[in-house]
A and B are shown apart, each in its own frame.
Chain A
């Protein structure tokens, strides 16, 4: 049976979603994204360079006809700013999807969930397909869905930290509580972290630094591609229960 991820009628070809920040150049960005097999690519909204007119555009390398562009509101610390960036992102004309970040603190980049909830509600009413970057709190996940979020994006660990899945139990509770997609966003460090998220039953993983910051981003992108597939298959296959003592794999029958 086909195992497709569909959110608000949009079909996603991969369960790995990737960011476009921190790469050496646009060419490396393009190659890493290609190697990752990702379908969704996040981007940020910033001022156009009005003096250096020859500066290249990210979308010259990431074709919006090939990838689903998910703009974010990175760097926004207030609801007002998150709304402003979201509306500009939509008007840029590639997507109605928005990854909302309302950041609460510079050092941790943890979300300000109160602002996040308010922004989610307003933007969902304006017809945006809202993906809120939230913490791993099952109650907040529920509140965000009630506010009109299309999915929830709980963090695994602080953005860019590479600490991996810090609270698999909370993610499990979110997965049990929430009947809409759960996409782990932020904090994964390597392929096994991605596999763990997928084995828990998460619907997708969004990451950036783990690929862009690797010594060989292209190779890491490929590793992430396989990790998502492996983790998802393992989840669907249903793992064996954990036991304290051994169970022999080989029969005793026929022994001398």
Chain B
């Protein structure tokens, strides 16, 4: 599967759900928020939310700011 993640096209992903995608990218689920095609996905739905080829995914976390 090909996804656009944080602005980058990434091919050959095996993950079918958000939880699997975060696992594949080795990102801890606890401190991130995820948006798919401009809609925020609730943490509780990470396990069931199914990704489709071509989805635009944003994975964000907190950084320093004022």
| B contact residues around A21 at 8 Å (CB) | 64-66
Instruction: List chain A positions with a Cβ less than 8 A from chain B.
Output: 19-23, 29, 42-48, 50, 53, 57-59, 69, 71-72, 74, 84, 87-94, 159-160, 186, 206-209
State whether A47 and B65 are in contact (beta carbons under 8 Å apart), knowing that A53-B27, A91-B43 are contacts in the complex.
no
Count, chain B residues at interface, CB 8 A: 28
Is B58 an interface position by the 8 A CB rule?
Answer: yes
| Contact, CB under 8 Å: B65 / A48 | no
Query: Chain B nearest CB: distance from A123 CB in Å?
Result: 13
In the assembled complex, the Cα of A186 lies from the Cα of B65 at a distance in Å of 12
Query: Chain A nearest CB: distance from B6 CB in Å?
Result: 4
| A contact residues around B63 at 8 Å (CB) | 20, 43-46, 58
Instruction: List chain B positions with a Cβ less than 8 A from chain A.
Output: 5-8, 25-28, 30-35, 38, 40-43, 58-66
In the assembled complex, the Cα of A59 lies from the Cα of B26 at a distance in Å of 17
Instruction: Return 17 A-B CB contacts under 8 Å, by A number.
Output: A20-B66, A21-B64, A21-B66, A22-B64, A42-B65, A43-B62, A44-B65, A45-B60, A47-B7, A48-B27, A48-B61, A53-B26, A88-B40, A91-B34, A91-B43, A92-B33, A208-B65
State whether A29 and B64 are in contact (beta carbons under 8 Å apart), knowing that A50-B27, A88-B33, A92-B32 are contacts in the complex.
yes
In the assembled complex, the Cα of A21 lies from the Cα of B32 at a distance in Å of 19
Query: Chain B nearest CB: distance from A108 CB in Å?
Result: 15
| Contact, CB under 8 Å: A50 / B8 | yes
What is the chain B residue whose CB lies nearest that of A18?
B66
